[in-house]
Amino acid sequence: MAWSTLPTLADGGTPTAAQLNQYKGNLDYLHSQRKYNYEYSGTTNFTTTGTTWGTISSDFIGTIVTSGGHLFALLSGVTQQLELDISLNGTRLCSTAAAGTGSLRMDNTGYAEIMNLPVLYNNLAAGTYVVAAQWKATSGTGTLDASYRPRFHVREL
């Protein structure tokens, strides 16, 4: 199902079935929602010792084809010694800040705490968007704890 540009109808005319079905099609499109959901259910922690930015795994990458509008992304998990960010078509949210900085950082060692990164991308043009969770270690081994089922959610909003 695809979004279509609705016709402008004039007084005195009779809308065709095809025209009215475009209205129906767009309502169905809005209801169906383009989205990507991932919830990890394994038992092995995600870990990294990398100090440069990279993706967590292919499961933390969502590709959404939009018809124009907003994208909402949410990365959540329990972490330690990690910096997290989200990229849109390869550009991290925080890429224009101080070199290497992410959007959120958890330095704590020996215990993990929750990190939520909710992001709204406003008024994107119609197209294909690759949204990816990115990470790097702040020191030692950065950990995304499996027992709290980290999640990555992307949807057209």
Enumerate binding residues for another protein (CB under 8 A): 3, 6-11, 15, 23, 26-27, 30, 67-70, 72, 74, 84, 93-94, 96-98, 101-108, 113, 115-120, 122-123, 157
Cα torsion angle, 28, 62, 73, 95, sign: negative
- Quick one: 43 or 99, whose CB is closer to another protein? 99
CB of 147 to another protein, least distance (A): 19
- Quick one: 22 or 42, whose CB is closer to another protein? 22
CB of 15 to another protein, least distance (A): 7
The single-letter DSSP state of residue 22 is H
CB of 20 to another protein, least distance (A): 9
- Quick one: 10 or 17, whose CB is closer to another protein? 10
CB of 63 to another protein, least distance (A): 19
- Quick one: 38 or 156, whose CB is closer to another protein? 156
CA distances from 142 to 14, 34, 60, 155 (A): 64, 32, 16, 27
CA distances from 90 to 29, 70, 143 (A): 27, 18, 23
List, in sequence order, every residue forming a beta bridge with 135; answer none if it has no partner: 54, 84
Residue with tokens 């330095």: 107
Give the C-alpha separation, 53 to 136, whole Å: 5
